[in-house]
Structure 1
Amino acid sequence: MRFLCLHGMGANSRIFEMQTGAIRYSLGNRHTYEFIDGAVPAKMAPGIESIASPDDEFLQYALDERESSLKALFDLERLVDQEGPFDGVMAFSQGAGLAASLIVHKSQKDPHGQRQNPVFRCAVFFCGGVPADPSALVQNGKMRLLNFESDGELIEIPTAHIWGASDTLYPTFGPVLSKLCRQELRSVFVHNGGHEIPGARDPEAVLKAAQVIKAAIERANLPQ
Protein backbone atom coordinates (compact mmCIF):
# COMPACT_ATOMS: atom_id res chain seq x y z
CA MET A 1 0.00 0.00 0.00
CA ARG A 2 1.03 3.59 -0.57
CA PHE A 3 1.51 5.83 2.50
CA LEU A 4 1.73 9.60 2.54
CA CYS A 5 4.10 10.56 5.38
CA LEU A 6 4.06 13.84 7.32
CA HIS A 7 6.78 14.74 9.82
CA GLY A 8 6.51 16.61 13.10
CA MET A 9 7.22 20.26 13.88
CA GLY A 10 10.92 21.15 13.81
CA ALA A 11 11.96 18.17 11.70
CA ASN A 12 11.85 17.26 8.00
CA SER A 13 11.08 14.37 5.73
CA ARG A 14 14.57 12.84 6.02
CA ILE A 15 14.38 12.85 9.81
CA PHE A 16 10.89 11.33 9.80
CA GLU A 17 12.15 8.63 7.45
CA MET A 18 14.84 7.79 9.99
CA GLN A 19 12.45 7.97 12.94
CA THR A 20 10.09 5.44 11.34
CA GLY A 21 12.78 3.17 9.90
CA ALA A 22 12.53 0.33 12.44
CA ILE A 23 8.73 0.26 12.34
CA ARG A 24 8.59 0.39 8.55
CA TYR A 25 11.05 -2.51 8.43
CA SER A 26 8.76 -4.48 10.77
CA LEU A 27 5.82 -3.83 8.43
CA GLY A 28 7.59 -5.63 5.59
CA ASN A 29 8.42 -4.61 2.05
CA ARG A 30 4.95 -4.51 0.51
CA HIS A 31 4.42 -0.83 1.22
CA THR A 32 5.77 2.41 -0.25
CA TYR A 33 6.22 5.69 1.57
CA GLU A 34 6.23 9.23 0.24
CA PHE A 35 7.64 11.79 2.68
CA ILE A 36 6.45 15.39 2.34
CA ASP A 37 8.28 18.39 3.81
CA GLY A 38 6.54 21.27 5.53
CA ALA A 39 6.97 24.76 4.05
CA VAL A 40 7.38 26.87 7.20
CA PRO A 41 10.82 27.25 8.87
CA ALA A 42 11.02 26.10 12.49
CA LYS A 43 13.48 25.55 15.31
CA MET A 44 14.89 22.05 15.64
CA ALA A 45 12.60 19.82 17.68
CA PRO A 46 14.05 18.67 21.01
CA GLY A 47 15.39 15.14 21.18
CA ILE A 48 16.46 14.71 17.56
CA GLU A 49 20.03 15.98 17.89
CA SER A 50 21.49 12.53 17.30
CA ILE A 51 19.79 12.10 13.92
CA ALA A 52 19.88 15.71 12.72
CA SER A 53 22.46 16.77 10.15
CA PRO A 54 24.31 20.11 10.14
CA ASP A 55 22.81 20.66 6.69
CA ASP A 56 19.23 20.02 7.81
CA GLU A 57 16.52 22.60 7.38
CA PHE A 58 13.96 22.27 10.16
CA LEU A 59 10.37 22.73 9.08
CA GLN A 60 6.74 22.68 10.09
CA TYR A 61 3.49 22.66 8.14
CA ALA A 62 1.86 25.66 9.78
CA LEU A 63 2.08 28.29 12.46
CA ASP A 64 -0.47 28.21 15.27
CA GLU A 65 -2.77 30.71 13.58
CA ARG A 66 -5.78 30.65 11.28
CA GLU A 67 -4.26 31.80 7.98
CA SER A 68 -1.23 29.54 8.20
CA SER A 69 -3.33 26.53 9.26
CA LEU A 70 -5.79 27.12 6.43
CA LYS A 71 -2.99 27.34 3.86
CA ALA A 72 -1.45 24.11 5.16
CA LEU A 73 -4.82 22.36 4.93
CA PHE A 74 -5.48 23.51 1.37
CA ASP A 75 -1.89 22.76 0.29
CA LEU A 76 -2.20 19.21 1.61
CA GLU A 77 -5.61 18.78 -0.01
CA ARG A 78 -4.20 19.93 -3.35
CA LEU A 79 -1.21 17.60 -3.06
CA VAL A 80 -3.41 14.59 -2.30
CA ASP A 81 -5.83 15.45 -5.11
CA GLN A 82 -3.01 15.87 -7.62
CA GLU A 83 -0.60 13.13 -6.58
CA GLY A 84 -2.97 10.60 -5.01
CA PRO A 85 -4.63 8.38 -4.42
CA PHE A 86 -2.83 7.27 -1.28
CA ASP A 87 -3.98 4.18 0.57
CA GLY A 88 -2.99 5.54 3.95
CA VAL A 89 -1.31 8.34 5.84
CA MET A 90 1.47 7.97 8.42
CA ALA A 91 2.15 11.10 10.45
CA PHE A 92 3.79 12.39 13.61
CA SER A 93 2.72 15.15 16.01
CA GLN A 94 1.81 18.32 14.08
CA GLY A 95 1.76 16.35 10.82
CA ALA A 96 -0.77 13.96 12.33
CA GLY A 97 -2.99 16.84 13.40
CA LEU A 98 -2.89 18.26 9.88
CA ALA A 99 -3.66 14.87 8.32
CA ALA A 100 -6.60 14.43 10.69
CA SER A 101 -7.89 17.91 9.80
CA LEU A 102 -7.81 16.95 6.11
CA ILE A 103 -9.77 13.74 6.78
CA VAL A 104 -12.41 15.71 8.70
CA HIS A 105 -12.43 18.47 6.06
CA LYS A 106 -13.14 15.98 3.27
CA SER A 107 -15.93 14.41 5.33
CA GLN A 108 -17.48 17.77 6.11
CA LYS A 109 -17.56 18.64 2.40
CA ASP A 110 -18.85 15.28 1.15
CA PRO A 111 -19.96 12.85 3.90
CA HIS A 112 -21.48 10.27 1.55
CA GLY A 113 -18.57 10.37 -0.88
CA GLN A 114 -16.02 9.93 1.89
CA ARG A 115 -17.85 6.92 3.28
CA GLN A 116 -17.70 5.33 -0.17
CA ASN A 117 -14.22 6.48 -1.20
CA PRO A 118 -12.29 8.10 1.68
CA VAL A 119 -9.27 10.29 1.07
CA PHE A 120 -7.25 7.70 3.05
CA ARG A 121 -8.38 4.17 3.81
CA CYS A 122 -6.40 4.04 7.05
CA ALA A 123 -4.25 6.37 9.16
CA VAL A 124 -1.27 5.90 11.46
CA PHE A 125 -0.83 8.65 14.04
CA PHE A 126 2.33 8.90 16.19
CA CYS A 127 1.81 11.31 19.14
CA GLY A 128 -1.05 12.70 17.09
CA GLY A 129 -1.52 16.44 17.31
CA VAL A 130 -4.94 17.87 18.10
CA PRO A 131 -6.58 18.78 14.77
CA ALA A 132 -8.14 22.14 14.01
CA ASP A 133 -11.81 22.25 13.04
CA PRO A 134 -11.76 22.75 9.24
CA SER A 135 -15.26 24.22 9.09
CA ALA A 136 -14.31 26.88 11.66
CA LEU A 137 -11.17 27.72 9.69
CA VAL A 138 -12.98 27.94 6.36
CA GLN A 139 -16.37 29.40 7.28
CA ASN A 140 -15.89 31.36 10.48
CA GLY A 141 -12.26 32.37 10.28
CA LYS A 142 -11.67 30.91 13.74
CA MET A 143 -8.97 28.63 15.09
CA ARG A 144 -10.80 25.98 17.12
CA LEU A 145 -9.38 22.62 18.13
CA LEU A 146 -11.58 19.56 17.86
CA ASN A 147 -12.40 17.41 20.87
CA PHE A 148 -14.55 14.36 21.50
CA GLU A 149 -16.69 16.00 24.17
CA SER A 150 -17.95 18.65 21.71
CA ASP A 151 -17.55 16.92 18.36
CA GLY A 152 -17.81 13.17 18.92
CA GLU A 153 -16.16 10.60 16.67
CA LEU A 154 -15.38 12.33 13.38
CA ILE A 155 -12.87 10.00 11.71
CA GLU A 156 -14.49 6.82 10.46
CA ILE A 157 -11.56 5.01 8.85
CA PRO A 158 -9.33 2.45 10.61
CA THR A 159 -6.65 4.17 12.65
CA ALA A 160 -3.54 3.25 14.64
CA HIS A 161 -2.49 5.51 17.52
CA ILE A 162 0.95 5.31 19.09
CA TRP A 163 2.18 7.71 21.76
CA GLY A 164 4.42 7.88 24.81
CA ALA A 165 3.18 7.63 28.38
CA SER A 166 6.01 9.96 29.43
CA ASP A 167 5.32 12.69 26.87
CA THR A 168 5.86 15.89 28.85
CA LEU A 169 6.12 18.12 25.78
CA TYR A 170 2.60 17.56 24.46
CA PRO A 171 0.72 15.27 26.89
CA THR A 172 -2.60 15.76 25.07
CA PHE A 173 -1.11 14.68 21.74
CA GLY A 174 -2.31 11.15 21.08
CA PRO A 175 -5.20 10.74 23.53
CA VAL A 176 -7.31 13.63 22.17
CA LEU A 177 -6.94 12.58 18.53
CA SER A 178 -7.62 8.92 19.29
CA LYS A 179 -11.02 9.75 20.82
CA LEU A 180 -12.01 11.59 17.64
CA CYS A 181 -11.62 8.31 15.74
CA ARG A 182 -14.26 5.61 15.60
CA GLN A 183 -13.72 3.36 18.60
CA GLU A 184 -14.30 0.00 16.93
CA LEU A 185 -11.88 0.91 14.12
CA ARG A 186 -9.00 2.23 16.21
CA SER A 187 -6.02 0.46 17.74
CA VAL A 188 -3.87 2.07 20.43
CA PHE A 189 -0.38 1.38 21.74
CA VAL A 190 1.10 3.53 24.51
CA HIS A 191 4.84 2.99 24.95
CA ASN A 192 7.03 4.02 27.87
CA GLY A 193 8.83 6.81 26.03
CA GLY A 194 8.06 10.46 25.51
CA HIS A 195 7.28 12.57 22.43
CA GLU A 196 8.95 10.14 20.06
CA ILE A 197 8.51 7.19 17.74
CA PRO A 198 9.73 3.77 18.98
CA GLY A 199 13.00 2.84 17.35
CA ALA A 200 15.66 0.15 17.27
CA ARG A 201 16.66 0.76 20.89
CA ASP A 202 13.26 -0.57 22.00
CA PRO A 203 12.50 -3.60 19.81
CA GLU A 204 9.49 -4.63 21.92
CA ALA A 205 7.84 -1.25 21.42
CA VAL A 206 8.61 -1.41 17.69
CA LEU A 207 6.93 -4.80 17.48
CA LYS A 208 3.81 -3.63 19.33
CA ALA A 209 3.61 -0.45 17.25
CA ALA A 210 3.81 -2.53 14.07
CA GLN A 211 1.02 -4.77 15.39
CA VAL A 212 -1.46 -1.91 15.83
CA ILE A 213 -0.53 -0.54 12.41
CA LYS A 214 -1.12 -3.95 10.84
CA ALA A 215 -4.50 -4.07 12.58
CA ALA A 216 -5.47 -0.78 10.90
CA ILE A 217 -4.30 -2.05 7.53
CA GLU A 218 -6.27 -5.28 7.99
CA ARG A 219 -9.42 -3.39 8.96
CA ALA A 220 -9.05 -1.35 5.79
CA ASN A 221 -8.90 -4.60 3.81
CA LEU A 222 -5.55 -3.60 2.35
CA PRO A 223 -2.63 -5.91 1.49
CA GLN A 224 -0.41 -6.71 4.47
Structure 2
Amino acid sequence: MIKIKGINGNLVFVFGPGTCAEYLAYLSQHLAQNSTLFYGSSVYFKGEGLKSLTHEEIASIQMLCLNNGLILNNNEPAKAASPKINPVREKKASTPGGQDMFIHRNIRSGQKVQAEGSLVIWGDVNESAEITAGGDIIVLGRLAGIAHAGCFGQKESIVFALNLTPSQIRIADKISRSSDEEQKKHTPEIAFLDGDDICISEYMARKNYKK
Protein backbone atom coordinates (compact mmCIF):
# COMPACT_ATOMS: atom_id res chain seq x y z
CA MET A 1 0.00 0.00 0.00
CA ILE A 2 2.15 2.90 1.32
CA LYS A 3 5.53 2.66 3.00
CA ILE A 4 6.44 5.59 5.23
CA LYS A 5 10.18 6.19 5.50
CA GLY A 6 12.17 8.72 7.48
CA ILE A 7 15.28 10.19 5.85
CA ASN A 8 17.33 12.86 7.63
CA GLY A 9 14.29 14.12 9.53
CA ASN A 10 12.07 14.14 6.43
CA LEU A 11 9.26 11.80 5.42
CA VAL A 12 9.04 9.83 2.19
CA PHE A 13 5.74 8.17 1.25
CA VAL A 14 6.35 5.29 -1.17
CA PHE A 15 3.11 4.41 -2.96
CA GLY A 16 2.64 0.78 -3.94
CA PRO A 17 -0.40 -0.72 -5.73
CA GLY A 18 -3.72 0.64 -4.48
CA THR A 19 -6.58 3.05 -5.07
CA CYS A 20 -6.96 6.66 -4.00
CA ALA A 21 -9.60 5.66 -1.43
CA GLU A 22 -7.23 3.08 0.06
CA TYR A 23 -4.38 5.57 0.20
CA LEU A 24 -6.57 8.20 1.89
CA ALA A 25 -7.90 5.72 4.46
CA TYR A 26 -4.41 4.43 5.26
CA LEU A 27 -2.86 7.89 5.59
CA SER A 28 -5.79 9.26 7.60
CA GLN A 29 -5.28 6.53 10.18
CA HIS A 30 -1.49 6.72 10.35
CA LEU A 31 -1.30 10.52 10.38
CA ALA A 32 -3.84 10.64 13.20
CA GLN A 33 -1.93 8.02 15.19
CA ASN A 34 1.37 9.85 14.75
CA SER A 35 0.17 13.45 14.73
CA THR A 36 2.71 14.67 17.28
CA LEU A 37 5.60 12.85 15.61
CA PHE A 38 4.78 13.86 12.04
CA TYR A 39 3.54 17.42 12.56
CA GLY A 40 5.74 19.99 10.81
CA SER A 41 7.71 17.37 8.86
CA SER A 42 8.29 17.72 5.15
CA VAL A 43 6.97 14.91 2.96
CA TYR A 44 7.93 13.67 -0.50
CA PHE A 45 5.81 11.35 -2.65
CA LYS A 46 7.25 8.59 -4.85
CA GLY A 47 6.37 5.11 -6.08
CA GLU A 48 4.67 3.33 -8.97
CA GLY A 49 1.24 3.70 -7.37
CA LEU A 50 1.19 7.42 -8.17
CA LYS A 51 1.01 6.66 -11.90
CA SER A 52 -2.50 5.23 -11.56
CA LEU A 53 -3.90 8.36 -9.87
CA THR A 54 -5.56 11.32 -11.53
CA HIS A 55 -4.33 14.85 -10.85
CA GLU A 56 -7.38 15.49 -8.66
CA GLU A 57 -6.68 12.35 -6.61
CA ILE A 58 -3.06 13.37 -6.05
CA ALA A 59 -4.27 16.81 -4.98
CA SER A 60 -6.67 15.24 -2.46
CA ILE A 61 -3.81 13.26 -0.90
CA GLN A 62 -1.69 16.41 -0.81
CA MET A 63 -4.53 18.22 0.94
CA LEU A 64 -4.83 15.46 3.55
CA CYS A 65 -1.15 15.88 4.36
CA LEU A 66 -1.44 19.67 4.57
CA ASN A 67 -4.47 19.40 6.85
CA ASN A 68 -2.40 17.22 9.19
CA GLY A 69 0.41 19.74 9.47
CA LEU A 70 2.84 18.27 6.94
CA ILE A 71 4.88 20.35 4.51
CA LEU A 72 5.03 19.35 0.84
CA ASN A 73 8.56 18.76 -0.41
CA ASN A 74 9.36 18.96 -4.12
CA ASN A 75 12.71 17.18 -3.90
CA GLU A 76 13.46 13.71 -2.58
CA PRO A 77 15.61 13.90 0.58
CA ALA A 78 19.16 12.66 0.06
CA LYS A 79 20.38 9.80 2.22
CA ALA A 80 23.26 10.49 4.57
CA ALA A 81 26.72 9.85 3.09
CA SER A 82 25.24 9.45 -0.39
CA PRO A 83 26.29 11.54 -3.37
CA LYS A 84 23.83 14.29 -4.14
CA ILE A 85 21.74 13.63 -7.23
CA ASN A 86 19.97 16.49 -8.92
CA PRO A 87 16.26 15.67 -9.30
CA VAL A 88 14.67 15.49 -12.72
CA ARG A 89 12.96 18.83 -13.14
CA GLU A 90 10.50 18.07 -15.90
CA LYS A 91 8.86 14.80 -16.87
CA LYS A 92 6.36 13.94 -19.56
CA ALA A 93 3.90 11.07 -19.70
CA SER A 94 1.95 10.07 -22.77
CA THR A 95 -1.83 10.17 -22.58
CA PRO A 96 -4.52 9.84 -25.27
CA GLY A 97 -5.02 13.62 -25.24
CA GLY A 98 -1.32 14.46 -25.57
CA GLN A 99 1.68 14.53 -23.28
CA ASP A 100 1.16 15.50 -19.65
CA MET A 101 3.94 17.63 -18.19
CA PHE A 102 5.25 17.55 -14.62
CA ILE A 103 7.47 20.41 -13.43
CA HIS A 104 9.32 20.49 -10.10
CA ARG A 105 10.29 24.15 -9.86
CA ASN A 106 8.87 27.66 -9.65
CA ILE A 107 7.83 29.41 -12.86
CA ARG A 108 9.45 32.83 -12.85
CA SER A 109 7.83 36.07 -13.96
CA GLY A 110 7.82 36.37 -17.74
CA GLN A 111 8.29 32.65 -18.36
CA LYS A 112 5.86 30.69 -20.54
CA VAL A 113 5.10 26.97 -20.22
CA GLN A 114 2.87 24.98 -22.56
CA ALA A 115 1.76 21.34 -22.29
CA GLU A 116 -0.11 19.29 -24.87
CA GLY A 117 -1.95 17.40 -22.14
CA SER A 118 -2.37 18.31 -18.48
CA LEU A 119 0.20 20.35 -16.56
CA VAL A 120 1.25 19.70 -12.95
CA ILE A 121 3.60 22.14 -11.22
CA TRP A 122 5.18 21.47 -7.83
CA GLY A 123 6.01 25.09 -7.10
CA ASP A 124 4.73 28.64 -7.58
CA VAL A 125 3.69 30.40 -10.78
CA ASN A 126 4.75 34.00 -10.31
CA GLU A 127 3.06 37.13 -11.59
CA SER A 128 3.25 37.72 -15.38
CA ALA A 129 4.20 34.08 -15.97
CA GLU A 130 1.94 32.22 -18.43
CA ILE A 131 1.04 28.53 -18.29
CA THR A 132 -1.06 26.78 -20.92
CA ALA A 133 -2.34 23.20 -21.09
CA GLY A 134 -4.53 21.15 -23.38
CA GLY A 135 -6.00 19.48 -20.29
CA ASP A 136 -6.04 20.37 -16.59
CA ILE A 137 -3.67 22.69 -14.74
CA ILE A 138 -2.64 21.67 -11.22
CA VAL A 139 -0.37 24.00 -9.23
CA LEU A 140 0.82 22.68 -5.88
CA GLY A 141 1.80 26.13 -4.75
CA ARG A 142 0.69 29.71 -5.54
CA LEU A 143 -0.73 30.54 -8.96
CA ALA A 144 -0.33 34.28 -9.53
CA GLY A 145 0.17 34.47 -13.29
CA ILE A 146 -2.00 33.65 -16.30
CA ALA A 147 -3.41 30.13 -16.64
CA HIS A 148 -5.16 28.69 -19.71
CA ALA A 149 -6.54 25.16 -19.32
CA GLY A 150 -8.27 23.27 -22.12
CA CYS A 151 -6.56 25.44 -24.71
CA PHE A 152 -7.69 23.11 -27.52
CA GLY A 153 -11.33 23.52 -26.56
CA GLN A 154 -11.72 20.97 -23.72
CA LYS A 155 -14.43 22.62 -21.64
CA GLU A 156 -14.25 19.98 -18.88
CA SER A 157 -10.71 21.07 -17.96
CA ILE A 158 -10.04 22.61 -14.55
CA VAL A 159 -7.47 24.86 -12.87
CA PHE A 160 -6.45 23.96 -9.31
CA ALA A 161 -3.97 25.65 -6.98
CA LEU A 162 -3.18 25.56 -3.28
CA ASN A 163 -3.25 29.37 -3.46
CA LEU A 164 -5.25 30.55 -6.47
CA THR A 165 -4.55 34.27 -7.10
CA PRO A 166 -4.16 34.53 -10.89
CA SER A 167 -4.30 37.70 -12.93
CA GLN A 168 -6.31 35.78 -15.52
CA ILE A 169 -7.84 32.32 -15.94
CA ARG A 170 -8.93 30.83 -19.24
CA ILE A 171 -10.75 27.54 -19.71
CA ALA A 172 -11.32 26.61 -23.35
CA ASP A 173 -12.57 29.86 -24.93
CA LYS A 174 -13.81 31.47 -21.70
CA ILE A 175 -11.87 34.14 -19.78
CA SER A 176 -12.08 35.32 -16.17
CA ARG A 177 -10.02 37.95 -14.39
CA SER A 178 -9.51 37.87 -10.64
CA SER A 179 -10.95 40.54 -8.38
CA ASP A 180 -9.32 42.12 -5.33
CA GLU A 181 -11.54 39.97 -3.12
CA GLU A 182 -10.29 36.79 -4.77
CA GLN A 183 -6.71 37.91 -4.27
CA LYS A 184 -7.17 37.84 -0.48
CA LYS A 185 -8.00 34.14 -0.32
CA HIS A 186 -5.32 31.67 0.75
CA THR A 187 -7.16 28.34 0.62
CA PRO A 188 -6.97 25.62 -2.06
CA GLU A 189 -9.40 26.49 -4.83
CA ILE A 190 -10.49 25.11 -8.17
CA ALA A 191 -11.77 26.86 -11.29
CA PHE A 192 -14.10 25.10 -13.71
CA LEU A 193 -16.72 25.87 -16.33
CA ASP A 194 -20.37 25.94 -15.35
CA GLY A 195 -22.18 26.59 -18.59
CA ASP A 196 -20.51 29.64 -20.11
CA ASP A 197 -19.15 30.94 -16.80
CA ILE A 198 -15.86 30.20 -15.05
CA CYS A 199 -16.62 29.36 -11.42
CA ILE A 200 -14.03 29.42 -8.63
CA SER A 201 -14.77 27.58 -5.41
CA GLU A 202 -13.00 26.07 -2.44
CA TYR A 203 -11.66 22.65 -3.36
CA MET A 204 -13.58 19.65 -2.02
CA ALA A 205 -11.83 16.31 -2.55
CA ARG A 206 -15.01 14.26 -2.97
CA LYS A 207 -16.73 16.58 -5.44
CA ASN A 208 -16.60 15.74 -9.14
CA TYR A 209 -15.83 18.92 -11.06
CA LYS A 210 -15.84 17.20 -14.44
CA LYS A 211 -19.00 18.20 -16.23
TM-score with structure 1 setting the length: 0.30
Task: Tell me which of the two structures has the higher relative contact order, counting C-alpha pairs closer than 8 angstroms and 6 or more residues apart.
Answer: 1
Tell me which structure has the larger Cα radius of gyration. 2
Which of the two has greater helix per residue? 1
TM-score with structure 2 setting the length: 0.32
